[in-house]
Structure 1
Amino acid sequence: MLLRNLDPSNGLCNGKRFIYRGFYKNIIHAKITSQYATNQVFIQRIQLSPPENEGKPFKFIQNKIPIHLRFEITINKAQGQKVPNIGLYLSQHVLSHGKLYVALSRGIFMVEKKY
């Protein structure tokens, strides 16, 4: 998941989810999973520094790739588990209603479900 707005016109904005295709030293190759689903993107490192250095004689700078890694499991492996946050990526139709029920009922909090 992306943590910064890098290029909103091409779908690279905060909170965007990806399927990662390759990890390299300074770049990540990924495919966007929403309306820009055909786009293959390369996310590079950016410079990050604190907003204020509070009178320090030096400046802190970090080079990071602005992503937060999320993990995935299959619906069958999720059966019997409870997790606080879930997100579904269904690239194909679910074969049975039971699997869909398992996928939708794994979250602990049922406050915000979007179908």
Structure 2
Amino acid sequence: MSFADWTLSIGNGQIPTKSFNKNQPSDWISIPEPLLLQPGSHPTSTICDEIYTDFQAKSYRASYLTSRAIVTPTNKNVTDINKHMLQQVPGKVHTYFSADTIHSDSNDCARLDAEYPTEFLNTLSFSGFPDHDISLKIFAPIMLLRNLNPDIGLCNGTRIMVTYLSTYVIKGLIMGGTYDGSVVVIPGDSFLIRLCYAMTINKSQGQTLDRVGVFLPKPVFSHGQL
């Protein structure tokens, strides 16, 4: 049974359910063995090696990066997988940081500084926004989180392979879609980007992929996610 057929069967109510406790409702389903990877002692490495086969030799090819991704429910899982993959990319790391101070023009700057110290601001993480710092390398794939310039293909969800990194500018090639292969330049300090070796299940909607791994460290319960 293919993954598509199996998920369709779930939606049609054709997959039997079971319970792990006789006092709880029968609301669990089993994933067929042919669709599973044995996680071993390092589940992140296992799924990365399976989806990004021969990565060292092909990590610089846009066609290779365009055709595959790992999807997972939460931003934390996405961050962990992206960090793992970036470590395998040769070359120098370039790290960008977000603003982590209160604007000095505020009339209540002293109180705000006391209530929101830098250490606290740097720990904040929100859906649709990257973390305080983002590390990139040449040939790493990134995704736009906002519309920048739809007329040239810079839209929310556009994937780009990085080809140049500087303090204020990121240059790259659009991967996939109408503008596939187009050279684009985006501001490096805009924080409208995120690495996309992995992406959340919700963010993957609309992407065209040939090879996909689904990383589920916890049960998926949100309607439509699986």
In the superposition, the TM-score normalised over structure 1's length comes to 0.48
Q: Which has the higher contact order (CA 8 A, sep 6+)?
A: 2
Higher helix share: 2
In the superposition, the TM-score normalised over structure 2's length comes to 0.27
